[in-house]
């Protein structure tokens, strides 16, 4: 049995497999299927300052090898999370990453400050949501916006801070560097890619929100490329996600430069996928004489 444990920004994960925000809720439904303690970590559903009901339906459209979603940030709000969900999650013997978001940098900072007083292990700041103060453009699509929100959230919390990058940008490396410069402890990527589907009978978009975020196996090569570019450009740890479906995908993502991975959309196909990926990584290490999984991070050699 190889040592599967990894560290991200000094935070311990018993294995590199973290379930991705928005695809695992707060874990309660999955716990009926397997003990959550087999997971390296759980990134919880994006939580905002106040309760939100999300976008109107339909908000999921299928697409070859993936889905397009416009769920929006449906969540019960940070106060509810801290009182009703976090204590339950903290009994599950896995690392808990609180994914947070807001309509303004100030809202993100307020949520982070509330988490500072809890025993959550890490904060993951989603910067792909629209900034209402800047005409609705996502914070994460400009260096200035990404740096600005990181700076104010950094000042609001002493918890390890991982900033989750948007792939909907021209140059992800510039954004990653801007976020690193403002004190992020780690980066995670990728969030969903902006997409659209149209019902040709009604000539209307399938999603009520018109557009949505693409995820699942179809985005995997884009994610590997971005993780590789970012991991080679920054000095902080990187967590890779986007389309991972198998242990081999997870290993590929780590070779690209990720210290750990997140598993999202594939859970809708197979709710046991994250558990199977942990087992598969273990087997792969044994077959390849790898003593510690962390050895493989960033080992891809460029042609
Ligand atoms: C239905 C759904 C809801 C999501 N909600 C969130 C969220 O609340 N916060 C966040 O940072 N990412 C959210 N994501 C993005 C995922 O965490 C992940 O970054 C993305 O889906 C790519 O990984 P995957 O292809 O393995 O799903 C959501 C994705 C899906 C499919």
- Mutate-to-test residue for ligand 1 from 191, 221, 267, highest number of ligand atoms within 8 A of CB: 191
Question: Is there a domain that residue 178 lies in?
Answer: yes
Question: Is there a domain that residue 106 lies in?
Answer: yes
First-last CA distance in the chain: 32
> Whole-structure pTM over 0.85, yes or no?
yes
Q: How far apart are CA 55 and CA 72, in angstroms?
A: 5
pLDDT in tens, 139-163: 899 999 999 999 999 999 999 999 9
Q: Does 250 have pLDDT greater than 80?
A: yes
Pocket of ligand 1 (CB under 6 A): 20-23, 45-46, 67, 69, 71, 73, 99, 126, 164, 191-192, 215-216, 219, 241-244, 263-265
Q: How far apart are CA 42 and CA 105, in angstroms?
A: 24
Q: How many domains does the chain have?
A: 1
Q: How far apart are CA 161 and CA 125, in angstroms?
A: 7
- Check if the beta carbon of residue 238 is closer than 8 Å to that of residue 257: yes
Distance 168 CA to ligand 1 centre (A): 14
Strand partners, 145: none
Q: Does 1 have pLDDT greater than 90?
A: no
Distance 289 CA to ligand 1 centre (A): 33
φ and ψ at residue 42, rounded to 5 degrees: -125, 125
3-state SS, one letter per residue, for 153-212: HHHHCCCCEEEECCCCCCCHHHHHHHHHHCCCCEEEECCCEEECCEECCCCEECCCCCCE
Question: Is there a domain that residue 204 lies in?
Answer: no
Packing angle of the helix pair 247-256, 273-287 (nearest 10 deg)? 70
Question: Is there a domain that residue 275 lies in?
Answer: yes
Tell me which residues are annotated as active site. 129
Ligand 1 atom nearest 21 alpha carbon: 17
Query: What residue owns the CA closest to ligand 1's atom 3?
Result: 22
Ligand 1 atom nearest 188 alpha carbon: 19
pLDDT in tens, 37-48: 999 999 999 999
Distance 46 CA to ligand 1 centre (A): 9
Question: Is there a domain that residue 301 lies in?
Answer: no
DSSP codes of every residue in 265-296? THHHH-TTHHHHHHHHHHHHHHHTT-SBGGGG
Strand partners, 186: 162, 237
Residue 133: the pLDDT is: 74
Question: Is there a domain that residue 111 lies in?
Answer: yes
Tokens 């149209």 identify what position? 198
Q: Does 212 have pLDDT greater than 90?
A: yes
Strand partners, 75: 52
Structural domain span for residue 171: 6-55+69-196+215-296
Residue 24: the pLDDT is: 97
Question: Is there a domain that residue 61 lies in?
Answer: no
Q: Does 117 have pLDDT greater than 80?
A: yes
3-state SS, one letter per residue, for 140-156: HHCHHHHHHHHHHHHHH
Question: Is there a domain that residue 105 lies in?
Answer: yes
Distance 43 CA to ligand 1 centre (A): 10
Within its chain, how far is the Cα of 226 from the centroid?
Answer: 14
The CATH number linked to 255 is 3.20.20.70
Residue 129: the pLDDT is: 85
């Amino acid at each position: 049995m190889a040592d599967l444990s990894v560290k991200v920004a000094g935070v311990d994960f018993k294995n590199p497999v973290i379930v991705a925000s928005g695809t695992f809720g707060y874990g309660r439904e999955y716990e009926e299927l397997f003990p959550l303690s087999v997971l390296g970590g759980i990134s919880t559903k994006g939580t905002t300052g106040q309760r939100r009901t999300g976008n109107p339906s339909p908000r999921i459209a299928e697409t070859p090898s993936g889905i397009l979603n416009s769920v929006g940030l449906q969540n019960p709000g940070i106060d509810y999370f801290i009182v009703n969900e976090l204590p339950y999650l903290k009994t599950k013997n896995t690392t808990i990453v609180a994914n947070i978001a807001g309509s303004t940098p100030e809202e993100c900072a307020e949520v982070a400050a509330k988490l500072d007083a809890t025993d959550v292990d890490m904060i993951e700041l989603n910067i792909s949501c629209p900034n209402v103060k800047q005409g609705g453009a996502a914070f994460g699509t400009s260096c200035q916006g990404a740096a600005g929100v990181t700076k104010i959230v950094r000042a609001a919390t002493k918890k390890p801070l991982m900033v989750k990058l948007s792939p909907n940008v021209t140059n992800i490396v510039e954004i990653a560097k801007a976020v690193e410069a403002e004190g992020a402890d780690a980066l995670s990527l990728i969030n969903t890619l902006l997409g659209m589907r149209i019902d040709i009978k009604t000539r209307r978009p399938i999603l009520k929100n018109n557009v949505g975020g693409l995820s699942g196996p179809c985005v995997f090569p884009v994610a590997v490329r971005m993780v590789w570019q970012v991991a080679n450009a920054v000095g902080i740890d990187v967590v890779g996600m986007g389309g991972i479906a198998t242990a081999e995908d997870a290993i590929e993502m780590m070779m690209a430069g990720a210290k750990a991975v997140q598993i999202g959309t594939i859970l809708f196909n197979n709710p046991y996928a994250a558990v199977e990926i942990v087992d598969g990584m273990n087997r792969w290490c044994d077959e390849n004489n790898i003593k510690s999984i962390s050895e493989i991070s960033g080992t891809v050699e460029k042609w």
